[in-house]
């Protein structure tokens, strides 16, 4: 229980918040603290002290300076769609929500760049780009709630990395308030800038531990040609990358995804969507292929027929309309939502593309042995080396015991990843959930350098404290 000194201190900084923000920009009720104090991770006890909603960069700067004075932690919050606990407030921090800093500020038609505040929702930027006959290519299932600031802080990937790369590829400039309250402008949207360290790239993927992104300049591009979506039924894990290799030679892929029959069954149960074809298969591949000319569809069918002849594919379907293409994508994109009621324990790992079959086979053995009676749902962006593993909590099992069991198996999973020079987190970040395993991907020298960098930008350790690593 807090003592009188702590209560007095809390009252002082609460009063100070009132000098920076209006009453409508501060929430302290229990419901708001819980709602804004967490992300999509379900295994952390939330303990936020207040939620603030800045509307200007100046307010963010004043808040940081206040937090330095009172030694209060600040947790940046966007769409809260993260899956590593990176936006969870567990130690009495103030949550800094950017939902009110949600405007598109400027557009340069020559550069094809757009200046956004951090609270702009991904899907809103995508739609805005379409209105300009342009395209923002970073895409994922959480597009309707994730925000640009959070995407940058986690270097979000998603379903089109194979064709367009990560968020990093589309950030040309940043404005950031550091942990000292200083505003820094990074790169000024220059294509060529050979003037020392590019701190912009240090901020991208930093999980909000170095400062607050308050403005971002994003690159847009020309819209892609019409695309077709294929769903293929596959007998074995080994066949998946053979199909990928063949398609890469013959076609222009914008996405190449995989999921298991168990994953498909959960989606069909949740959505009532029809099966893509009648044959039930152990695994499925979803491939999105660009169709820029009249011969494209025949090239797709030729590639499909070749995979059938090789015995890699059991059955398949090619979208015949935009609506059917969307439904095919839902079979993959609705997996996470269909699993949410099971409170899954998630792993998000990556290796180089050529090593994906070896990793999948190793993990298949480990997971079947570790969880002989548990449901384990596989899916992933295998075209860029990224696998997602979802372990479903058995009915009636306490979450603390479930997490403990899963973390023990994590060691075996991460050992396999380390043996193949992979990463224990491909796109979800480290946050709280992976920080004790960071040494499986990063050396002691790297971790020490990261800590040193953190202290330069955030000497009082107030910006998203306790995330990625501990001091």
In the numeric block, which tokens belong to residue 48? 């936020």
Average pLDDT over residues 435-454: 96
377: phi then psi, degrees, rounded to nearest 5: -105, 125
Percentage of the chain exceeding pLDDT 70: 98
Let me know if domain 104-219 sits in CATH 3.40.630.30: no
Contact (CB, 8 A) for 82 and 429:
yes
Residue 261's pLDDT band (cuts 50, 70, 90):
very high
Q: How far apart are CA 182 and CA 61, in angstroms?
A: 7
pLDDT in tens, 92-150: 999 999 999 999 999 999 999 999 999 999 999 999 999 999 999 999 888 999 999 99
Question: What pLDDT, on the 0 to 100 scale, is given for residue 360?
Answer: 87
The CATH architecture assigned to 227-336 reads 2-Layer Sandwich (3.30)
Local structure of 444: helix, strand or coil: helix
Q: For residue 1, what pLDDT is reported?
A: 53
Task: Tell me the torsion sign for CA atoms 41, 13, 67, 21.
Answer: positive
pLDDT over 60 (residue 154): yes
Closest CA to 155 of 383, 384, 326: 384
Place of tokens 């011969």: 295
Please give the pLDDT value at position 275.
96
Burial call 305-337: b when 16+ CB within 10 Å, e when fewer: eebeeeebbbbbbbbeeeebbebbbebbbbbbe
Looking at CATH, the fold of the domain delimited by 4-98 is given as 3.30.43
pLDDT score at 219: 98
pLDDT tens per residue across span 9-68: 677 778 899 999 999 999 999 999 999 999 988 788 999 999 999 999 999 999 999 999
Task: Say if residue 277's pLDDT is above 90.
Answer: yes
Task: Give 367-412 as a DSSP string.
Answer: HHHH-SSS-EEEEEEGGGTEEEEEEPPPTT--HHHHHHHHHHHHHH
Q: What is the pLDDT of residues 291-312, one digit of tens each?
A: 998 889 999 999 999 999 999 9
Give the pLDDT of residue 43: 82
Encode 362-399: b = buried (16+ Cβ within 10 Å), e = exposed: bbeeebeebbeebbbbbbbbbbbbbbbbbbbbeeeeee
Q: What are 382-430's pLDDT values in tens digits? A: 999 999 999 999 988 998 899 889 988 899 999 999 999 999 999 989 9
Q: How far is CA 366 from the centre of its chain?
A: 25
Q: What is the pLDDT of residue 8?
A: 67
What pLDDT shows up at residue 271? 95
Q: What is the dihedral of CA 415, 416, 422, 426, to 10 degrees?
A: -90
Q: Do the domains spanning 4-98 and 104-219 agree at the CATH topology level?
A: no
Do residues 260 and 283 touch, judged by C-beta distance below 8 A?
yes
Class of residue 432 by CB neighbours under 10 A (exposed 0-12, middle 13-18, buried 19+): buried
Segment 308-323 shows an average pLDDT of 96
Q: What is the pLDDT of residue 118?
A: 98
The Cβ-side half-sphere exposure at 394, using a 13 Å CA radius, reads 9
Q: What is the pLDDT of residue 112?
A: 98
Is 70 exceeded by the pLDDT of residue 2?
Answer: no
| Closest to 390 measured CA to CA, from 366, 404, 374, 408 | 374
Look at residue 173 and tell me whether its pLDDT is greater than 90. yes
Give the C-alpha separation, 345 to 347, whole Å. 7
Q: Which CATH number is 343-431 given? A: 3.30.70.2740
Considering only CA atoms, which of 214, 192, 222 is closest in space to residue 463?
Answer: 214
| Mean pLDDT along residues 360-386 | 91
Q: Where are the domains of the chain?
A: 4-98, 104-219, 227-336, 343-431
pLDDT (0 to 100) of residue 323: 95
How much is the pLDDT for 4? Answer: 62
**pTM: predicted TM-score of the whole model, two decimal places:** 0.92
Three-class secondary structure of residue 117 per DSSP? coil
């Amino acid at each position: 229980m807090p003592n009188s000194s702590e209560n007095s201190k809390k009252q002082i900084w609460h009063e100070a918040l009132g000098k920076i923000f209006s009453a409508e920009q501060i929430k302290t009720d229990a419901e708001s603290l819980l709602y804004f104090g967490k992300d999509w991770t379900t295994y952390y006890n939330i303990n936020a002290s207040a939620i603030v909603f800045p509307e200007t960069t100046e307010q963010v700067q004043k808040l940081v300076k206040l937090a330095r004075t009172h030694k209060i932690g600040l947790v940046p919050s966007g769409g809260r769609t993260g899956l590593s606990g990176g936006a969870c407030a567990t130690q009495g921090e103030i949550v800094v929500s950017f939902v009110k800093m949600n405007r598109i500020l400027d557009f340069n038609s020559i550069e094809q760049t757009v200046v956004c505040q951090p609270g702009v929702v991904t899907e809103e930027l995508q739609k805005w780009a379409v209105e300009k006959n342009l395209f923002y290519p970073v895409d994922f299932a959480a597009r309707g709630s994730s925000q640009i600031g959070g995407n940058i802080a986690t270097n979000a990937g998603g379903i089109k990395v194979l064709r367009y790369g990560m968020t990093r590829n589309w950030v040309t400039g940043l404005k950031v308030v550091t942990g000292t309250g200083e505003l820094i402008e990074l790169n000024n949207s220059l294509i060529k800038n050979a003037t020392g360290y590019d701190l912009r790239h240090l901020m991208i993927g930093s999980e909000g531990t170095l400062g607050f992104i308050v403005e971002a300049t994003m690159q847009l591009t020309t819209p892609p040609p019409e695309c077709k979506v294929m769903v293929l039924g596959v007998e074995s894990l080994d066949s998946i990358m053979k199909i990928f290799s063949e398609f890469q030679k013959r076609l222009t892929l914008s996405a190449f995804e995989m999921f298991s029959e168990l994953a498909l069954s959960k989606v069909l149960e949740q959505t009532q969507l029809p099966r893509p074809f009648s044959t039930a298969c152990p695994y499925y591949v979803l491939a999105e292929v660009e169709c820029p000319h009249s011969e494209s569809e025949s090239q797709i069918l030729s590639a499909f027929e070749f995979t059938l002849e090789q015995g890699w594919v059991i059955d398949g379907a090619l979208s015949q309309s935009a609506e059917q293409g969307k439904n095919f994508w839902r079979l993959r994109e609705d997996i996470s939502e269909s699993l949410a009621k099971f409170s899954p324990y998630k792993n998000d790992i990556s290796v180089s593309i050529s090593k994906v079959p070896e990793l999948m086979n190793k993990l298949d053995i480990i997971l079947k042995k570790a969880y002989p009676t548990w449901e384990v749902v596989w899916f992933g962006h295998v075209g860029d080396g990224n696998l997602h593993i979802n372990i479903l909590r058995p009915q009636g099992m306490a979450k603390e015991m479930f997490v403990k069991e899963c973390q023990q198996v994590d060691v075996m999973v991460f050992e396999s990843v380390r043996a193949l020079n992979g990463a224990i987190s491909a796109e979800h970040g480290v946050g709280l959930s992976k920080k004790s395993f960071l040494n499986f991907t990063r050396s002691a020298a790297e971790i020490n350098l990261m800590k040193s960098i953190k202290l330069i930008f955030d000497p009082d350790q107030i910006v998203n404290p306790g995330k990625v690593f501990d001091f």
